[in-house]
């Protein structure tokens, strides 16, 4: 048996659009609001838009590079325009809409996860 020693990304979850929601999705697209976001999902902790990430688990199991990717993935999924060369290289800015992190329309769970990840990054000396 092999013990797991880190956090690994397992894919993306796509929100289902019902037939009734098709009109709303079309309207949102017309208004340049992302109607369907792809959430990053990670083994053992869940998806960025559905699950609250446990701080203790991240402290024990996630390395700085993974924490950076997790936090910035949340903003990328919602249309943030990155400014640093590293983030632009990694995520790109295609389709970005928001120049300010505070303007990015995050759900309560996404905002909580971003704050938790940043706090862990600070405690680990990543930032």
pLDDT in 10s for each residue of the chain, 127 residues? 444 446 666 555 433 333 334 434 433 333 333 334 578 898 889 999 999 999 999 999 999 999 999 999 999 999 999 999 999 999 999 999 999 999 999 999 999 999 999 999 999 999 8
Of 31, 30, 36, 39, whose CA–CA distance to 10 is shortest? 39
Give me the torsion for CA of 116, 119, 125, 127, rounded to 10°. 90
Q: For residue 22, what is the enclosing H or E element?
A: helix 22-30
pTM of the model: 0.72
Question: What one-character-per-residue DSSP string does 47-108 give?
Answer: ETTTSPPPHHHHHHH--HHHHHHHHHHHHHHTTB---SHHHHHHH--TT--BSSGGGS---H
CATH classification number, 45-124, choose in 1.10.287, 1.20.58, 3.40.50, 1.20.120? 1.20.58
Q: Show me where the domains of the chain are located.
A: 45-124
């Amino acid at each position: 048996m092999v013990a797991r020693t880190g956090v690994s990304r397992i894919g993306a979850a796509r929100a289902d659009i019902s037939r009734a929601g098709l009109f709303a999705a079309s309207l949102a697209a017309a208004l340049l609001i992302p109607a369907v976001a792809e959430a990053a999902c990670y083994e053992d902790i869940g998806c960025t838009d559905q699950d609250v990430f446990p701080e203790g688990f991240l402290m024990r199991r996630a390395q700085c590079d993974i924490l950076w990717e997790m936090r910035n993935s949340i903003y990328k999924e919602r249309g943030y325009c990155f400014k640093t060369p590293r983030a632009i290289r990694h995520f790109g800015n295609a389709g970005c809409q928001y120049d300010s992190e505070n303007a990015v329309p995050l759900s309560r769970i996404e905002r909580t996860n971003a704050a938790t990840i940043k706090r862990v990054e600070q405690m680990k000396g990543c930032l």
